[in-house]
Structure 1
Amino acid sequence: MTPADLSTTVLRAVRRAVDEDALRAPVPARVRVERTRPGGRGDYASAVALQLAGPAARPAREVAEILRERMAGAPGIGRVEITGPGFLNFTLDASADADAHRALLRRVREQGLRYGHGDALAGAPLQLSHAREIRAAVTADAVRRLVRAQGAPVRISCDGADEASDPDWARLGITADAHGRPPTPLTEIRPVPAGATAGELLGRLGPDATRWGLLRPAGHDRARLGDDLLVQGEGNPLFLVRYAHSRTHALSRGAERLGFTAARDEVSAEAFEEPAASALLAVIADHPAVLAAAAHHRAPDRLARHLEAVAHAFLDFHDAASPLPAGDEKPSAAHRTRLALAEAAGTVLAGGLSLLGISAPPYL
């Protein structure tokens, strides 16, 4: 069970309690669940009962008990406990969790770079508009990629003249469907300007670092476009993400030399129980929700930060439980399962970078 699945299960319990008139409170749009902190109980916790206590005019622990009764026996949940003033604590069913992890890896493998794409925004065409300024143009291009990945047709208009005649903009992959301000309703893309031209940025940084530097900060923050974007070290998030991606390919090549491949459906449940593997599985499972939110809010910076989280989780996993056997050790089911997880991480990193318009080379 992923965090998103658990959130949906808790939300269903709230809705059921309201429908049965056991709880008189507005049903929230979503329920937040978080990993339990060290020393806490269970795998995940939620404060939803505390949030509903006021509107329901009932003690939080009483609300929590109402919800616990309606979650007992839910698929994927082994135990629900109430702690403190009314926190719900969830211990997942290990066997169901392993099945969910198998299904997740299968889904990533089958969907490839389109993993996380969906139809959350399917419907009326979206018209984006941006000024003739390089950060606005790159952001609009990334938003178009994200929104299209969620099923919406998109058109972009640039307030200025045709940038197709500018080879520097073309090198950054920027195109527009129209120029000037169309009469239809617009979504304006207006981040803080870069303070430099496309030619200046390309001359110093090249296309990939330029795009990352313009997209990584939130639109209301100034973009930091120094030469640190080119540093090959962990302090450079772009390098970290691309390095993690290249390591996943290196693992696959190493496994091929040793004569084994990643597990498909017959995977080792024990390998999923390793803490570093669980953390990596969690961020991979979060990927579709991150893509949907980044598209909905027109915020490619959310995807960039998520890719950093995936890279960190993968490198921690790689250091804690290498997919490759050491010395004379024979490849086991656990190694094949870890390799499948590493390859899934590589797929997420490559697909995410592609949506940002940034290359993901298999070698660095």
Structure 2
Amino acid sequence: MTPAELAEVVLSAAHAVFADRGLDRSALPERTVVERPRNPEHGDYASTLALQLAKKVGQPPRELAAALAEQLGRAAGIKSVEIAGPGFLNIRLDAAAAGVLARSIVTAGPGYGHSDRLAGEKINLEFVSANPTGPVHIGGARWAAVGDAIGRLLRATGAQVGTEYYVNDAGTQIDRFAASLLAAARGEPTPEDGYGGAYIAEIAADVVARRPDVLTLADSDAQAVFRAEGVALMLDEIRTSLGQFGVEFDTWFSEQGLHDRGELEHALTRLRAQGHVQDADGAVWLRTTDFGDDKDRVLRKSNGEWTYFAADCAYYLDKRERGFERAVYMLGADHHGYVGRMRAMAACFGDDPAVTLEILIGQLVNLVRDGVPVRMSKRAGTVVSLEDLVDAIGVDAARYALARYSFDSPIDIDVELWTRATRDNPVYYVQYVAARTASVGRNAAEVGLTRGDAEAFRPELLDHEKENELLKALAEFPAVVATAAELREPHRVARYLEDLAGAYHRFYDNCRILPRGDEEVTDLHRARLWLNDATRTVIANGLDLLGVSAPERM
């Protein structure tokens, strides 16, 4: 029995009690939850439903709790129910009800942990979106790992998700990038405010190889070639490095395309219709202060040029007109100032930003070698890139390390720690369980032990304390996935997997799975093999949500 199934039993019991007592059933919630007590001696699960309802229906909490406990005691799979404090219900399951979960997990396979909690939501999830002026740096790598994991979580809970990379291929940064390439091709110094580093010389050489005539062109024409060809080459490199990192996007959206299709003008027309645009000093302004911004924002300068903010407006409107009900933006640590203006902008379009807009701000990440952070600077050419990170610790460790911590906290990734084959390396600790459970399965086959027919599975035999502890941990997985998706917090999955790994190790150390020597294979061995395989299923499913492999051997 999963916590969700037990919660349904508790709610069903409440409906029965309310009917018997003639209480107002409209006071009952559509759903309830049960939680694991901090102290295992207090039972397997606890419910506060009696406390929540007593005041609403004018009943003494303990009296209502007693009625619920009596009703629950009749339910299949419940061993006992005790009343604690002012009206808490402490519930214990019988071994069979707890143990049957192992079969349910193995049967569900990759689907275990998935739900329809967010079914019907259509979400645009934009992340990384670094300017195509250099390799993906370690900060972008963090968003790649976290963003991809959030996308996986949202899909696992039923949401319709479109992942997107916004290509900033318009504006002065691209002009500087093109000028830097041209200078490198001519053997000239990097322009002021330009981009340096070995990758600039490499891309410049590739452009010249593609277009040998480029160095004979006038400066403006040559720079136009380097702009177009250089951005295309840089994007190819970004796509390749992200693809090797296990991150694919549904859409690569071009900022320049917004300009070419006239979408900035379209957005301006929509904003004018909403009544929040004014013309002053030869420029066009959006009165974002109408919705709490600290100042109004220029959409079009007095010289006729569009601003970056105008492109932001057009891009948001494009997402909404593609049918996305919520636009999630994942921005870097230096973008806190964007939150107010973006929320105000959504309101200027007539939207409720609390519903249609979500902005996540990530914090810095450092790669640490020998206790010293490696500093990065794209323009100085000392970028700590995604490839550098992967070369240092590998894809699995990099993705796990980046997703393991709340994205709003800065982190240091210690190369020595994340390459260590010991229990203090979190990804090794979890993947070791994946490998050990697979190894148990192989060894079981060698001695003739199989799980047997599902109908012959005897879950009541899984009554050891450590078996119960492991089963309770496995039962929590669907709720962890749902919460992680709703809160956009994949680190919850990582921390859960580490706790699950600990529970499995304690089970493995205390409960013999394989028969010794000539020992006869028993139903208990088979039941424990079900539990072993259920653990591998959950470990693999959880790691997959983080984009990390579940190895069969280590």
TM-score, normalized by length of structure 1?
A: 0.87
Which of 316-325 and 298-307 deviates more? 298-307
CA spacing shift, 1:26–1:192, aligned 2, 3 Å: farther
Is 2:153 the partner of 1:152? Answer: no
What is the CA deviation profile of residues 147-180 of structure 1, one whole-angstrom value per residue up to 9, with x for unaligned ones? 2223332112223448543232222122331335
Is 2:168 the partner of 1:170? Answer: no
Matches within 5 A, 1:257-296: 257-265=446-454, 266-296=456-486
Residue 476 of structure 2 aligns to a residue whose secondary structure is helix
CA distance in 2, matches of 1:149, 1:46: 27
Alignment-derived partner of residue 344 in structure 1: 534
Alignment-derived partner of residue 314 in structure 1: 504
Q: 1:58 deviation in Å?
A: 4.8
Matches within 5 A, 1:1-364: 1-15=1-15, 22=23, 26-27=27-28, 30-35=32-37, 37=39, 39-40=41-42, 42-53=43-54, 58-92=59-93, 94=94, 97-98=95-96, 101-102=99-100, 104-131=101-128, 132=130, 133-161=140-168, 163-166=235-238, 167-176=240-249, 177-179=251-253, 180=255, 181-183=315-317, 184=320, 185-189=326-330, 190=360, 191-195=362-366, 196-227=384-415, 228-265=417-454, 266-364=456-554
- Aligned residue identity for 1:285: A
What is the CA deviation profile of residues 30-77 of structure 1, one whole-angstrom value per residue up to 9, with x for unaligned ones? 33332473554x543334434445555654312312433443412322
What is the CA deviation profile of residues 275-305 of structure 1, one whole-angstrom value per residue up to 9, with x for unaligned ones? 1111111222222222222222222112112
8 Å CA contact 2:430–2:497 kept in 1: the answer is: yes
CA spacing shift, 1:206–1:81, aligned 2, 3 Å: closer
Which of 158-167 and 118-127 deviates more? 158-167
8 Å CA contact 1:136–1:193 kept in 2: the answer is: no
Q: 1:23 deviation in Å?
A: 6.6
CA spacing shift, 1:264–1:234, aligned 2, 3 Å: farther
Residue 118 of structure 2 aligns to a residue whose secondary structure is coil
Q: CA RMSD in A?
A: 2.7
CA spacing shift, 1:359–1:91, aligned 2, 3 Å: closer
8 Å CA contact 1:121–1:152 kept in 2: the answer is: yes
CA distance in 2, matches of 1:154, 1:269: 38
Q: 1:108 deviation in Å?
A: 2.5
CA distance in 2, matches of 1:210, 1:35: 34
Q: 1:210 deviation in Å?
A: 0.7
CA spacing shift, 1:44–1:112, aligned 2, 3 Å: closer
8 Å CA contact 2:3–2:33 kept in 1: the answer is: no
- Aligned residue identity for 2:141: I
Residue 412 of structure 2 aligns to a residue whose secondary structure is coil
8 Å CA contact 1:50–1:86 kept in 2: the answer is: yes
Where in structure 1 do 4 or more consecutive aligned residues deviate above 6 Å?
Answer: none
Which of 214-223 and 170-179 deviates more? 170-179
Q: 1:324 deviation in Å?
A: 1.1
CA distance in 2, matches of 1:230, 1:199: 16
- Structure 2 gap ranges (5+): 131-139, 169-233, 256-314, 321-325, 331-359, 367-383
Residue 186 of structure 1 aligns to a residue whose secondary structure is strand
8 Å CA contact 1:139–1:300 kept in 2: the answer is: yes
- Structure 1 gap ranges (5+): none
Which of 314-323 and 196-205 deviates more? 196-205
Which of 149-158 and 243-252 deviates more? 149-158
- Aligned residue identity for 1:7: A
Residue 224 of structure 1 aligns to a residue whose secondary structure is strand
Q: 1:258 deviation in Å?
A: 1.1
8 Å CA contact 2:98–2:468 kept in 1: the answer is: no
Residue 146 of structure 1 aligns to a residue whose secondary structure is helix
Residue 164 of structure 2 aligns to a residue whose secondary structure is strand
Q: 1:245 deviation in Å?
A: 0.7
Which of 238-247 and 62-71 deviates more? 62-71
What is the CA deviation profile of residues 237-257 of structure 1, one whole-angstrom value per residue up to 9, with x for unaligned ones? 211110011001111111122
Residue 225 of structure 1 aligns to a residue whose secondary structure is strand
TM-score, normalized by length of structure 2?
A: 0.59
CA spacing shift, 1:281–1:298, aligned 2, 3 Å: same
CA distance in 2, matches of 1:178, 1:15: 51
Which of 54-63 and 175-184 deviates more? 54-63
Percent of aligned positions with the same letter in both sequences?
35
CA distance in 2, matches of 1:334, 1:172: 42
CA spacing shift, 1:69–1:292, aligned 2, 3 Å: same
- Aligned residue identity for 2:112: Y
